[in-house]
Amino acid sequence: MKDLTVGNERNLILKFAMPMLLANLFQQTYTIADLAIIGNSHIGDLGITAITNSFHIIFSLIALIIGISVGFNVIISQYFGAKQIEKVKLTVDTMVVTLVFASLAITLVGLIISEPLFVLIKVPVEAMPMATSYINVYFLGVIAFFGFHGVSAVLRGLGDSKTPLYFMIASSILNIILDYYFIIVLEWGIEWAAIATIIAQGIVFILAVIYLNKTHKIVNFSFTRFRFDKNIFEKCIAIGLPSGIQTTLVGLSMLALMWIINPFGNNTVAAFGIASRIDQFASLPAMNFAMALSTFVGQNLGARKIARVRNGFHSTLIMNSIITIIVTILVVFGGRQLMSWFTDSPEVIEIGVKYLVIVSSFYIVFTSMFIIGGVLRGAGDTVIPMFITLFALWAVRIPLAWALSETKMGINGVWWAIPIAWFLGMFLSFLYYKTGRWKKKSVIDF
């Protein structure tokens, strides 16, 4: 457990963020390896198209619960900062109950609506059977994802970001090995990529629960003790639901984007699938700095140390900017080589390179928006950021992408709509941060 209310702000955030960054690098390495294995197997580019469309449906459905988990993480960190340990325990128990029922609901909904959604967003007909097989299997094992995500949220809220790293490394390595064996060696179908994910996440989730229960005395993660606190749950919903809705809106906007992209054909969808995974990889430092900053802000607001929050924000923004500039240079000038790792199709590579040149040139805008959001989430102020996201994505990016795609720009118009929306979201988020209203959003009772 790490107390973030004392010590140098920059060093604390950096040390806290690095294990999370490494953990997520391994997770993204798995997803990229998964795509590369499928793209270079007997399944080919059709498999990439199937997984790309499946991913955005999966993300849209689980995003709401991930957002609610953010609420639990914020409250755990604030109670821990205020040294209210019994409240920490009760929050963990309430989270367990919430995640169990949420995972069952997501599984049921996912199995019912996934295929109609594929039809709605115009998935290429030739990729439809693969997409359906993959996503149905994935939803059957979604409880393992929620379980591991929940344990990791508890550990991070207590200031322990190293342990989730070790478990994520183990999960990623196991996942890649199983992927390679099922898809390359045995030449089984694409659904086995989903099975590999379920097996890896399930094993690591069980190990993480055992570790948490044996090493952290103040919490005990259990599926047999149903202790539920309505007041804490309502606080978590108040914080996490707007964040979850915001993340869901991001996922749904990607589905709307797929509705625009899919008619351009399998090559374009495959190129977007590969390039957007590279995007995710490139944005990892910012995402994890933002997560570390959220915990830092939560603990220091709980301890009523506002000046440390401001210093932490400025330090994080500087660190993030340096890393983002380096990543941007690598992606812009190395995009063709990166694309060739996943496919040998010249058409797919060319489309993907154009995407990367346009979009990655503006990574600094996107990542700065993440850092600002980290402050607001850590403070428990998630409603206004939700509306900013709603406006930037749905009032700007989707209409603009559709309009530009109908001009001579074609698919490149869709790519340009992405950074334009980033600019607006970052600008509005910064304006709200400057109002200082987030300083009054601490949710714990003193």
User: Which letter does DSSP use for residue 1 in this model?
Assistant: -
Q: For residue 303, what are the contacts with CB-CB under 8 A and spacing of at least 6? A: 5, 81, 82
How far is the C-alpha of 184 from the C-alpha of 63, rounded, in Å?
31
User: Which letter does DSSP use for residue 410 in this model?
Assistant: T
Q: What is the pLDDT of residue 446?
A: 44
How far is the C-alpha of 239 from the C-alpha of 257, rounded, in Å?
28
With a pLDDT cut of 90, the percent of the chain lying above it is 44
- The predicted-structure confidence for 263-313, as pLDDT tens digits, reads as follows 999 999 999 999 998 988 888 888 889 988 988 888 888 778 888 988 999
Count other Cβ atoms within 10 Å, centred on residue 176. 21
How far is the C-alpha of 95 from the C-alpha of 221, rounded, in Å?
10
- 135 close to 123: Cβ distance less than 8 angstroms: no
Arithmetic mean of pLDDT, 307-326: 92
Tokens for 68? 């609610």
Arithmetic mean of pLDDT, 246-262: 88
Tokens for 295? 């915990």
- 399 close to 341: Cβ distance less than 8 angstroms: no
Q: For residue 26, what are the CA distances in angstroms to 62, 142, 282, 334?
A: 20, 19, 13, 21
Arithmetic mean of pLDDT, 215-243: 78
Residue 241 phi, psi (nearest 5): -65, -45
Pick from 440, 435, 109, 401: which is nearest to 248 by CA?
Answer: 109
Higher pLDDT, 205 or 28: 205
- 372 close to 433: Cβ distance less than 8 angstroms: yes
Q: What is the pLDDT of residue 2?
A: 67
- The predicted-structure confidence for 54-73, as pLDDT tens digits, reads as follows 988 998 888 877 777 778 87
Higher pLDDT, 159 or 71: 71
Q: What is the pLDDT of residue 178?
A: 95
287: amino acid identity, one letter = M
Arithmetic mean of pLDDT, 116-144: 92
Domain ranges of the chain: 9-440
Q: What is the pLDDT of residue 401?
A: 96
pLDDT higher than threshold 80 for residue 135:
yes
- 90 close to 231: Cβ distance less than 8 angstroms: no
How far is the C-alpha of 351 from the C-alpha of 87, rounded, in Å?
52
Q: For residue 416, what are the contacts with CB-CB under 8 A and spacing of at least 6? A: 358, 404, 409
Tokens for 63? 């995003």
- Beta strands in 350-431, from DSSP E residues, in sequence order: none
Arithmetic mean of pLDDT, 406-431: 94
- 362 close to 331: Cβ distance less than 8 angstroms: no
Q: What is the pLDDT of residue 274?
A: 93
- Positive or negative CA dihedral for 45, 51, 54, 56? negative
**Residue spans of alpha helices (H) in 82-127:** 85-120
